[in-house]
Amino acid sequence: MVLCWIIGLALALGHHFYYYSLNDTIVGDQNRQAWSSRIGTGLAFLTKTFLTTAVGIACVQNLWWILRLTPMKLSTLDSMLDIRGSIFNFFDLHVWLRGPNVAILGLISWLIPIVTVVTPSTLSIQSTVGSNMFSQPMPQIEYTLLKYFTLDEGGVSSPTPSVIRLVTGTIIQGTIPNIPAPAINSSYQLNFTAPLIQCTNSSTKVRDDITHYVHNKTQFYIDYIAFSPTSDNITFALDEVFYYDSPSILAATDNGNTSADVADKLVIAVNPYMTTGSRVVVECGMYNASYTANFDYTNGEQSIEIVDLHVLNRVPKHDSHTLPAPANENQLFAYTSIMDTFKTALEGLCWASPDRCTDTQIYTSSLVNSKEIWELVYGDESVGNVSYRTLPRLVEVASELGRNITLSFFSNDYFLQNTSQAKTINVTVYQNQTKYSYAQRNLLIAYGVAVVVSLLCVIAGFLTMVDNGFAFTDSFSTILRATRNSDFDDIVPVAATTGADPLPRSVAKTRVQWMPSSGGSEGIAGLKPLPADDDEKKKYKQVQESGPGTVAAEDEDERVRPLGSLRAFGLGLELDCFGLNWRLVRLSYPSALERIAGRRSILSFDEIREEDGARQHRVTLLGISGCGPEPDACGTCVSAVVVCNYEKR
């Protein structure tokens, strides 16, 4: 019983640690998944088996303990013996009345197997995304002259169609073209140096100079103007826009005066006629910068975040060879080609917007998604899902566009290094994985309840076993050895000896009780049948007609108690004796008297004899209470002689 409980506890812990070892591990192939399920189910079954066995043994000990204390009908005994085999035995009310402890232990043995339903299901399978890291060469932007500029007889001519197509496409879309991913779900971080078109709000002086110029030298209201000064003289730069075909005027304003650091930049002015309010002037220049960018791909959808950006230096326009040639001349050509394409797309003039514009793609560019350009096209109204109130400022949209132009070059292998020249970086690839998920709380609760309850049952079984003085089972051999009393032959009809169902009613009503040995052939230990109530009258008549008989009884373990009463217990009689120095060695009484257990006796002492160190009590049994049909007849229904022989200790 205890061993079964210990094994059950060990199996429960083994089940927990097995599932714990599988938690958050990859399932693997189908065969491995099947074996993990088999092992878990097997451990749950074995745990249930040993805990149920421990409770079952405790239930048996309690059953024999009840049989020792109180008589029980054979039908009730049948229900108790089979309570762990048939759930219908719980509907026998006598089971709950005669042996509630057996009923409770039997019920627990039925409930413990529920853990085999709960515990295997605590290990489930979840689909997660796992990651593996490996090294891969990742090309960066390559700066080769012929990739960025076309050549003519005089040298470099204009940006190549590849540059124009890539930069202009980014200006119009405002987004980064798809960059090839190492895997459909992957990520990597890249550090690189590349061009940066950075835009800032112009100074107040630049804004005022532009406003002053358009008020004094233009005859119509200008909504938008974008130009690229070749010097820091704003007036001369604007004359180049409005009087590009009048050399005399240009010569007059090219006087060397400077008003700001705007040379080689793109200056964008919105509502330059306005002195305040909606007037905005933004200037964008080319810079060399160091980038740290995270490239993430989820199901092929890219997400690029620049986590660190440092401007290294301003890059002036470089569209011709110089001597001596700078070490990074090809890089300077590439930067200039990108900036020239950016300027060409946005330079121009608009008035009576958006109907009249010259030489600009401003209204087809992504800069329309800025508050200032949106007002020129739609006013302050929202269109579709685009709300005017949530639009960013022009300087923000232009700056983001400049960064996107740089990143767009990674989308075209034509502008990237060969893989043999590329730097190797760590790339993380994410894959859908099936992993085990262990809900250990549910398993520990289920097993914890089963183990604790079964432990209480084992303790109850152990205590009853100690009180019984013996350990019992419900095996056939135990029943066979415990039913050697010859009176069982009298209560079982010959026709019922086959053991076939149903049980005869006369047998079912027979009460039995476990008795210790009282000595002699008729006083063997074990189960003994007790008479049914309707047979009492017949048995008292047998006592009256029977003559004296003797039954030997040894009582070597207990001290002799003073003689005073003869009382029934089970199927035998207990005699209280005089003299602490004497031991009961033989009890003589009529043999038929053995069948009327359960009645209190009234004694009369006839004589006491002592010869050769032995003492004899001769006792006359005057009556048995309740023996007759009328209470007043109790004193006359039985007359028998009981003789007790003693010897000194």
**What value does the mean pLDDT of the chain take?**
78
Lowest mean per-residue pLDDT among 428-437, 485-494, 549-558: 549-558
Is residue 90 very low, low, confident or very high in pLDDT (cuts 50, 70, 90)?
A: confident
Q: Please determine, for residue 422, whether its predicted confidence score (pLDDT) is greater than 60.
A: yes
User: Looking at residue 625, what is its pLDDT?
Assistant: 35
Q: What is the pTM of this model?
A: 0.57
Is residue 388 very low, low, confident or very high in pLDDT (cuts 50, 70, 90)?
A: confident
Q: What is the mean pLDDT of the segment spanning 338-360?
A: 86
On whether the CB atoms of residues 262 and 237 are closer than 8 A, the answer is yes
Is residue 617 very low, low, confident or very high in pLDDT (cuts 50, 70, 90)?
A: low
User: Looking at residue 250, what is its pLDDT?
Assistant: 54
DSSP run (H or E) holding 574: strand 572-577
pLDDT digits (tens, 9 = 90+) for 561-608: 333 344 433 333 444 443 333 444 444 544 444 433 333 344 444 455
490 or 346: which carries more pLDDT confidence? 346
386 or 313: which carries more pLDDT confidence? 313
User: Looking at residue 253, what is its pLDDT?
Assistant: 56
On whether the CB atoms of residues 428 and 190 are closer than 8 A, the answer is no
CA-based max dimension of the chain: 168
Phi, psi of 374 (to 5 degrees): -60, -40
Sorted by sequence, the CB contacts under 8 Å of residue 91 that are 6+ apart come out as none
User: What long-range pairs does 470-479 form, CB within 8 A, spacing at least 24?
Assistant: 470/64, 471/61, 472/60, 472/61, 472/63, 472/64, 473/57, 473/60, 474/60, 474/63, 474/81
Q: What is the mean pLDDT of the segment spanning 428-443?
A: 88
On whether the CB atoms of residues 237 and 229 are closer than 8 A, the answer is yes
CA distance 174 to 177: 9
Sorted by sequence, the CB contacts under 8 Å of residue 282 that are 6+ apart come out as 199, 200, 201, 202, 267, 268, 394, 395, 398
Core vs surface per residue 483-516: b (16+ CB within 10 A) or e: eebebbeebbeeeeeeeeeeeeeebebbbbbbbe
User: Looking at residue 285, what is its pLDDT?
Assistant: 94
Q: Please determine, for residue 332, whether its predicted confidence score (pLDDT) is greater than 70.
A: yes
DSSP run (H or E) holding 620: strand 614-624
Burial class of 422 by CB neighbour count within 10 A (0 to 12, 13 to 18, 19+) = middle
Q: Please determine, for residue 541, whether its predicted confidence score (pLDDT) is greater than 50.
A: no
SS3 breakdown of the chain: % helix, strand, coil, rounded to 5? 45, 30, 30
Q: What is the mean pLDDT of the segment spanning 312-326?
A: 87
Q: Please determine, for residue 217, whether its predicted confidence score (pLDDT) is greater than 50.
A: yes
Which two tokens mark 486?
A: 């010859």
At 617, the amino acid letter reads: H
Q: What is the mean pLDDT of the segment spanning 71-93?
A: 83
